[in-house]
Amino acid sequence: MEATRWLGIERPFGLFLGMARPSGSDAGVTGPRVRAAAERLFAKFGYAAVSMRQIAADVGIGAGALYHYTPDKQTLLSRLMRDHLEELLDAWDAVDPGGDTVARLEAFARFHIRFHLDRPDAVFIAYMELRSLEPGSFAAVETLRRRYEAVPEGILRDGVAAGRMQVGDVKLGAMALIAMLTGVNTWYRDGGRLDRTAVEEIYANMARGMVGVG
Amino acid sequence: MEATRWLGIERPFGLFLGMARPSGSDAGVTGPRVRAAAERLFAKFGYAAVSMRQIAADVGIGAGALYHYTPDKQTLLSRLMRDHLEELLDAWDAVDPGGDTVARLEAFARFHIRFHLDRPDAVFIAYMELRSLEPGSFAAVETLRRRYEAVPEGILRDGVAAGRMQVGDVKLGAMALIAMLTGVNTWYRDGGRLDRTAVEEIYANMARGMVGVG
DNA sequence: GTCTATATATTGATAGAC
DNA sequence: GTCTATCAATATATAGAC
């Protein structure tokens, strides 16, 4: 059977199950690969420094073919950032233990470190490329970011109200906590002196001390 | 007198004191203006996104004239970063109170916030454009950054040795402290709910709690 | 769904006039 | 010290063949 016939003729999808797919067809898998390549390259070199050709080359397709998966470069960036923050919010909702405020604080600290260490590229982009967003996307991302900041803020407010925590200012305490925890991404490397669990434990203790938990 | 004569004829420098300078002559002041424009634009849009033409336009000269002040764009960036970190180290040496470890910790926290809030553009560049540096410049900047990290590390080590502080790991405590303090730059704005002194006070307290100062 | 070819704009850096 | 003109490279995005 000639390759040209394979490529040119439409066939019912089921015919390809378990078979080598014709090389021109990657329905459903190229999209995610474009996304992954963009995330990796944007994090490594910065949005402005990465060309659509670089992304295409990383995926293994031509530059023109990229535009079947995103209308433009800007949309590629803004979708990465929005999806990252929405996933972050959903993930916390799924693990929030509720109840005791000190327990929630510790759970938040451990969750934040774990989630962020698992996605260093997305985290870096979400913090560094805000300036590369057009106004509309920027506003949407800011809203999501503020919703996440409200999480530790709520925990601290409850903790102070319950007399379990002492902090000069709840809002500042939340910002300080997030900055401290996110900072782990700048130095942690797998295989280093301390593993993730040890790091989580140490930071959870510092988080407690920071807000006056005796 | 014709403008062409003013521009074309060399004159002793003293002749221009107190007079309007001929428009083509800015000896000694254009250099710093190039530097300032680059710092502002790199911080706002990112190194890769800023063109030499943009910098020149901001200064009010043509693109070609820029190359009298820097051999290339990369040198402009690396000099900004190195100078910033050297100034940071010198500034701490000038205010380090020495002696009591808890007093030094508080002094460091206040100093770090103050110094960084005064130079938001340089700080942002120093943290975000490491990836834009060529290997040689990168190594030099990393060395300076590590020297600064050694400051809080030394304070914590002394504090733990003196039994005044408790921290799970000295190195992690130093990194957490720096990240927490630098984070102020992401949200602080003059004229907001709290002024700089109030912010310094609150963060100094959180810093103490973080390392177990009772 | 991918390719090649291309339109149009912009980039960093240099040369030479004044 | 600044200007104008320019080179060679590269950018995003589109059009149309297969």
For every one of its 214 residues, what pLDDT tens digit does chain A have, with 9 covering 90 and above?
323 332 333 333 333 333 334 444 455 899 999 999 999 999 999 999 999 999 999 999 999 999 999 999 999 999 999 999 999 999 999 999 999 999 999 999 999 999 999 999 999 999 999 999 999 999 999 999 999 999 999 999 999 999 999 999 999 999 999 999 999 999 999 999 999 999 999 999 999 999 999 7
- Which part of chain A is CATH 1.10.10.60? 3-68
CATH topology assigned to domain A73-210: Tetracycline Repressor; domain 2 (1.10.357)
Tokens standing for residue B109: 């926290």
Percent of chain B residues topping a pLDDT of 70: 87
Interface of B with A in 26-65 (CB under 8 A): 44-49
Tokens standing for residue A147: 């919703």
- List Cβ neighbours of A149 (8 Å cut-off, separation of 6 or more): A174, A175, A178
- Which part of chain B is CATH 1.10.10.60? 23-70
What is the band of B214 on the pLDDT scale with cuts at 50, 70, 90? confident
Q: What is the pLDDT of residue B20?
A: 37
- List Cβ neighbours of A168 (8 Å cut-off, separation of 6 or more): B201, B202, B205, B206
Superfamily of domain B23-70: Homeodomain-like (1.10.10.60)
Mean pLDDT across B167-185: 98
Q: What is the pLDDT of residue A28?
A: 82
Instruction: Give the architecture (CATH level 2) of A3-68.
Output: Orthogonal Bundle (1.10)
Residues with CB under 7 A from strand D: A 4, 8, 50-54, 63-64, 67, 71-74; B 7, 24-28, 30, 56, 60-65, 68
Cα separation, A104 vs A96, whole angstroms: 7
What is the band of B60 on the pLDDT scale with cuts at 50, 70, 90? very high
What is the band of B27 on the pLDDT scale with cuts at 50, 70, 90? low
Tokens standing for residue B137: 């410049």
Using an 8 Å CB-CB cutoff, list chain B residues near A167: 202, 206
Using an 8 Å CB-CB cutoff, list chain A residues near B49: 46-48, 132
Name residue, tokens 């930071």: A203
Cα separation, B67 vs B56, whole angstroms: 10
Q: Which nucleotide is nearest to A4 (CA to C1')?
A: D18
For residue B52, pLDDT beyond 50: yes
Distance, CA of A17 to C1' of D16, in Å:
31
Selected residue of A125, A210, A211 to mutate for chain B interface (largest B Cβ count, 10 A): A210
**Closest residue on chain A to B133 (Cα):** A45
Establish whether the CB of B68 is closer than 7 Å to any nucleic acid atom in strand C: no
Tens of pLDDT, residue by residue over A115-126, are 999 999 999 999
Q: Which nucleotide is nearest to A7 (CA to C1')?
A: D18
- Measured on CA atoms in the order A104, A110, A115, A116, is the torsion positive or negative? positive
Q: What is the pLDDT of residue B13?
A: 37
Q: What is the pLDDT of residue A11?
A: 34
For residue B83, pLDDT beyond 50: yes
Instruction: Give the 3-state secondary structure of residue A100.
Output: coil
Q: What is the pLDDT of residue A26?
A: 53
**Contact assessment for residue B145 and residue B85, using Cβ atoms and an 8 Å cutoff:** yes
Q: Which residue has the higher pLDDT, A17 or B151?
A: B151
**Contact assessment for residue A54 and residue A41, using Cβ atoms and an 8 Å cutoff:** yes
- Which part of chain B is CATH 1.10.357.10? 73-210
**Three-class SS string for chain B?**
CCHHHHHHCCCCHHHHCCCCCCCCCCCCCHHHHHHHHHHHHHHHHCCCCCCHHHHHHHHCCCCHHHHHCCCCHHHHHHHHHHHHHHHHHHHHHHHCCCCCHHHHHHHHHHHHHHHHHHCHHHHHHHHHCHHHCCHHHHHHHHHHHHHHHHHHHHHHHHHHHCCCCCCCCHHHHHHHHHHHHHCHHHHCCCCCCCCHHHHHHHHHHHHHHHCCCC
Cα separation, B186 vs A130, whole angstroms: 12
For residue B111, pLDDT beyond 90: yes
